[in-house]
Amino acid sequence: MRKHLDPWTIGVIVVTLVLFVVSLLVTGFTHDLLLEAGVFLVSVKLIVGAYKSSVATADLKDRLDEIHTVVCRLDAKDRT
């Protein structure tokens, strides 16, 4: 999991969480809480989407490497 979360992503997570907590302390539990929670959830959704994309890309790369290996083996076999 660590390889999919680069330092910038971790920084965004920390800054978003800190800003959310600060806004809770400043505004309190008023009707603005729904707006702050919405912004926080959108940020989390974007981060989770980026993580899933990174995992899918790594899986696709592994599969392409396997296909490349098989094709190279078949090509070498045909040449002999």
Query: Would you write out the chain's pLDDT as a tens digit for each of its 80 residues?
Result: 556 667 887 887 888 888 888 877 887 777 777 777 788 788 888 888 888 898 899 999 999 999 999 999 998 888 86
Q: Which range marks the domain in which residue 49 is found?
A: 2-79
Please give the pLDDT value at position 50.
83
CA distance 52 to 47: 9
The domain total for the chain is 1
The two structure tokens encoding residue 64:
């392409």
4 DSSP assignment: G
Q: What's the whole-model pTM score?
A: 0.62
**pLDDT at residue 77, as a whole number:** 85
